[in-house]
Structure 1
Amino acid sequence: MTRLTALLARRVEIPLLAVLAIVIVVIGIDTPSIWYDEAATIVSATRTWPELWAMLHTVDAVHGLYYAFMHVWFDLVGYSPFTLRLPSAIISGGTVALTMLLASRFGTRGFALLAGVVLITIPRFTWAGTEGRSYALTALLAAAMTLLLMRALDAARAPSTRWAAVWPWLAYAGVGLFSVGIFVYLSLVVVAHAVTVVVLTMSGTLNRRQLFAFGRTVVPLGIVCIPFVLIVAGQSGQLAWIDPISQRTLTGILITQFAPNNAPFAIFTWIVVLVGITTFIVARRSSTTRARAARYLVAWVLPWLVVPTVVLVLTSVLITPLYSPRYLTFLMPALAVAIAGGIVGLGRLTRLAARLARGPFANRMRSVPWTALASVAGVLVLALLTQPSYESQRTTGAKQKSSWSQAAWRVGEVASALPADSDPAVVFGSVAWHPTATARVVEYSYPWAFESLDDVALEKPVGSLPRLWETSRPVDTPMLEGHDTVILVSSGRDREVNERAIEAAGFTESDSWSYPNLWVKLYTR
């Protein structure tokens, strides 16, 4: 810890850029409406500990450790859309810092700074920072695991003491175990690390002692994780929404995985990465130092980018669909380093072309700092291309076109305008795209809007059963007796059924409001 503190004190740009990343992500973080996945976090993390433990035996064990973390967080600060997403924003800053430390292993101080700035421009990264889910944390943990493995391999080469050779591997195993508990897909980072270690051993960069040390750590780690993986596999039915592999998967890999709905950003990124690969090929034929550095970077970054995607796609084809672009958010640190390498490579290729120039401007061309210019130009282009994504991530309907915040605001406004002696009821119908839940998710997300309303159809509330959501009864006349006002919140799937039931109880529609995929209707006697 002391060594890390001293490093950050010397490299002041690391904490400064991390804080800047947090500020960039936090801006407008509570503007988007809560959506289904975040509602799952809310109803899970706000249960009692026994209720959460019971639920995890039947569903969402894969997110159990994250729910436990958020449970503690809500106990400290309370729940609101802002506090739900704030941990992800703070974690994003930490990911920037770790990515810069990681990039320092491959290049100069300027290269590390470039990688950190590039990471902030990646749309998937800024998206993860606004999610009340574990995606931002997976990116941080992937970077941390990679740094710890590098440290462990260095220690295994020539350890000063036995403890100095052991503790980095214990740290790597501990963080690896925690990472799998946070999100089981992070086990694929360990698989990518295995590929890296084998490649570096075959190339002579690592020796057999380092290879065996890695094996002695990873094999027990895998054995310890097997029971948890089996539990998660037993709940795989909750992933039934994932589409089978199709032509759309290619779009997911090339675009959605890191730049949702932003093809220009993706195209530019792929061009830059291909330039980086070209630079690597050129570097192999140039100076030994540059060839070694390029080979080292590619050996670490390429498996991290490729192996998890390939494994998930193959598993989806051969066994069951598991591939979802957002589940690979933990690739973003590697992508940032790869993009930074491509930008630097573009500068080096330009400088090489300038050296071959002839004519009156040849000397002037050779004196231009092409690498620095390429870095500035690359960052400016990335910032320009990511702007539409950044702005769209801070609109009300940014998350699955959710309009829950608008509906909740309307309900709160209607409820507050009712007479003080009224006894209004609320009925929740369906919610778009999610047949196992109801529009009651709006209440979980914005509870203050529903405090004065009587939820007449609720049968078993959240937490009373070992399942994610509550159970409800169909609306009928007896349950509406004693109420003079009813507010219906529903999507279009079963709205008419509830409307007929409410009207059959003697109510008449007096007002209605339509939002994307959601309706709010007011009924009075």
Structure 2
Amino acid sequence: MAHRSLPDLWATLGQADAVHGLYYLLLHGLFGVFGGADPLLVLRLPSVLATAVASGTLALLGRRLAGARAGLLAGVVFALLPPVQRYAQEGRSYAVVCMLVVWASYLLVRAVETRSRRVWAGYAAVMVAACLLHEFAVLAVVAHLFALPRSARRTGLRVAAVVCGCLAPLAVVSMGQSEQVAWIGGVGGDLVGFSAVTVLGLVCAVLLRRDPPARRGPLPGFAPALLVLPAFLLLLSTPFKPLFVDRYVLYGHAGAALLVGAVLDRSLRARGRIRAVAVLATGAALLVLLPVGVGLRTPQSRADDVTAVAEAVRAAGSDGDGVLYMPARRRVWSLVDPGSVRGLRDLALERGPAASHTLYGTEVPAAGIRVRMLATARIVVLRDPVSQPLDGTAQERVKRRVLAAYFVECGTRRVQGARISVYARPGRC
């Protein structure tokens, strides 16, 4: 998407992925400036820098809420959390959104302390930017309102109304593209990982609330709201329309890091056995997180490995073979490395992604796919893993029926997140 011309990109966003439009524009500019650099480096650079800035800003926020050492520890804990490490190396908007929410949280605390209109305006501007990068950042505004002291709530409500007003046009457009989140099923593995961090944060919040109010400070009220409320609001939609994905509320981990940092600081200030236990627990946690962090930097940690997919397609296909994507959205696997399908005929394609102003291109009707498949002796099929549900569109149904009735499966290679199969007419394997 980021490599498309601005007119093509604008036309595509009118049909799909408007929610990520601002991030595509950011990447488009970066590729324009650093076009000669390694494309993977350019793609991931915003996320890496954003995570570093978020960690530093969180340290400043923690310093205001709980003291200098608590803030420093919070920044370190945040950078070590596995979900944060994961999205620090992905070429998507979530780390940048997280950075902006952390920055906005810092500005919010300053605005409450100083009652400065300029700081409130800065908070609003940063939150608008976060929401335009991903709409669910607006849930952080709800958490911020919940955590505000009564004296600041009226101003906070006005600022929240401004943020929501700026987001409204994008929200209206993206509601017309709601089929893009149709893939989200019930809560599963995402919730398990997020729940573990949430439980850790809430245990720390309980420990901090045992302090006298004079020593407690504002952190035990502020951080749990940021950690819990955005995720809880997404989960509330599950019976009607599942929307919970952990990366949508990645910024909630900043709340957990603040709480853990404050508890570590409190433990290190203690004497005797408590301090020794804190040091041992911290060391044990680092030993546990080390292999997790290493694993997150391997292809096996990804939902799919497009490099392995490309290699498997090259090995399976020959000039003149057909290629099918089941479902059609898996055409994205070949967009990263178009050379992997050079010489193969895309049997279902009507118009490519750029020409059709879509994410994955458009496909011919089911009858046309059937005719093209029957005119082909050998087909390379790119499919989801067996555990994934089958799409029920007419085009996908006819692909499955024709393969089952007129072709035999010559072999299948499984790579991370994908199956690459070769089908041929009987006797042609």
TM-score, L = length of structure 2: 0.82
Counterpart contact for 1:490–1:520, Cα < 8 Å: yes
Bigger Rg, structure 1 or 2: 1
Choose from 194, 210, 213 the match for 1:257: 194
Which sections of structure 2, spanning at least 5 residues, go unmatched? 385-389, 391-398
Query: CA shift at 1:256, angstroms?
Result: 2.0
Paired amino acid for 2:137: L
Query: CA shift at 1:252, angstroms?
Result: 4.7
Counterpart contact for 1:344–1:375, Cα < 8 Å: no
Q: 1:168 corresponds to which residue?
A: 119
Q: 1:36 corresponds to which residue?
A: none
Matched, 1:142 2:101: yes
Counterpart contact for 1:114–1:375, Cα < 8 Å: no
Choose from 390, 393, 404 the match for 2:306: 404
Distance 2:2 2:407 in 1: 33
Matches within 5 A, 1:347-386: 347=268, 351=271, 365=272, 371=275, 373=276, 376-386=279-289
Distance 1:217 1:383, change over 3 A: same
Paired amino acid for 2:124: A
Choose from 151, 155, 159 the match for 1:217: 159
Q: 2:322 corresponds to which residue?
A: 427
Paired amino acid for 2:166: V
Matched, 1:459 2:356: no
Distance 2:343 2:169 in 1: 45
Which sections of structure 1, spanning at least 5 residues, go unmatched? 1-43, 157-164, 202-206, 259-265, 352-364, 419-423
Q: 2:294 corresponds to which residue?
A: 391
Distance 1:471 1:212, change over 3 A: closer
Distance 2:337 2:47 in 1: 20
Choose from 390, 393, 415 the match for 1:515: 415
Query: CA shift at 1:59, angstroms?
Result: 1.9
Flag the structure with more relative contact order, 1 or 2, with Cα contacts below 8 A and sequence separation at least 6.
Answer: 1
User: Which range is displaced more, 515-524 or 79-88?
Assistant: 515-524
Q: 2:393 corresponds to which residue?
A: none
Q: 1:121 corresponds to which residue?
A: 80
Paired amino acid for 1:221: V
Matched, 1:91 2:65: no
Paired amino acid for 2:126: V
Distance 1:175 1:455, change over 3 A: same
Distance 2:94 2:112 in 1: 27
User: Which range is displaced more, 443-452 or 325-334?
Assistant: 443-452
Counterpart contact for 2:227–2:254, Cα < 8 Å: no
Distance 1:387 1:499, change over 3 A: farther
SS at the partner of 1:125?
A: helix
SS at the partner of 1:463?
A: helix
Query: CA shift at 1:512, angstroms?
Result: 6.5
Query: CA shift at 1:97, angstroms?
Result: 1.0
Counterpart contact for 1:102–1:147, Cα < 8 Å: yes
Query: CA shift at 1:144, angstroms?
Result: 0.8
Paired amino acid for 1:185: F
Matched, 1:49 2:6: yes
Q: 1:302 corresponds to which residue?
A: 224
Matched, 1:107 2:66: yes
- Identical-residue share of aligned pairs (%): 25
Q: 2:247 corresponds to which residue?
A: 326
Distance 1:486 1:58 in 2: 34
Distance 1:320 1:491 in 2: 26
Paired amino acid for 2:307: S
Distance 1:411 1:77 in 2: 30
Distance 2:22 2:289 in 1: 32
Distance 1:76 1:498 in 2: 46
Distance 2:131 2:6 in 1: 21
Matches within 5 A, 1:499-510: none
Distance 2:43 2:320 in 1: 28
SS at the partner of 1:195?
A: helix
Query: CA shift at 1:101, angstroms?
Result: 1.1
Distance 1:63 1:277, change over 3 A: same
Query: CA shift at 1:304, angstroms?
Result: 0.9
Query: CA shift at 1:272, angstroms?
Result: 6.6
Distance 2:261 2:305 in 1: 37
Query: CA shift at 1:390, angstroms?
Result: 2.1
Distance 1:307 1:73, change over 3 A: same
Counterpart contact for 1:257–1:326, Cα < 8 Å: no
Counterpart contact for 2:312–2:420, Cα < 8 Å: no
Choose from 194, 201, 210 the match for 1:281: 210
Q: 2:113 corresponds to which residue?
A: 154
SS at the partner of 1:518?
A: strand
Query: CA shift at 1:337, angstroms?
Result: 0.7
Paired amino acid for 2:225: P
Per-residue Cα deviation, 1:449-506 (whole angstroms, up to 9, x for no partner): 345655565320112224322123427569979xxx9672422775784598789xxx
Distance 2:244 2:373 in 1: 47
Per-residue Cα deviation, 1:360-416 (whole angstroms, up to 9, x for no partner): xxxxx4xx8x55x5554343222222234323323323222x24322312444678x
Distance 1:512 1:305 in 2: 43
Q: 1:472 corresponds to which residue?
A: 363
Paired amino acid for 1:491: R
Distance 1:170 1:426, change over 3 A: farther
Distance 1:273 1:133 in 2: 29
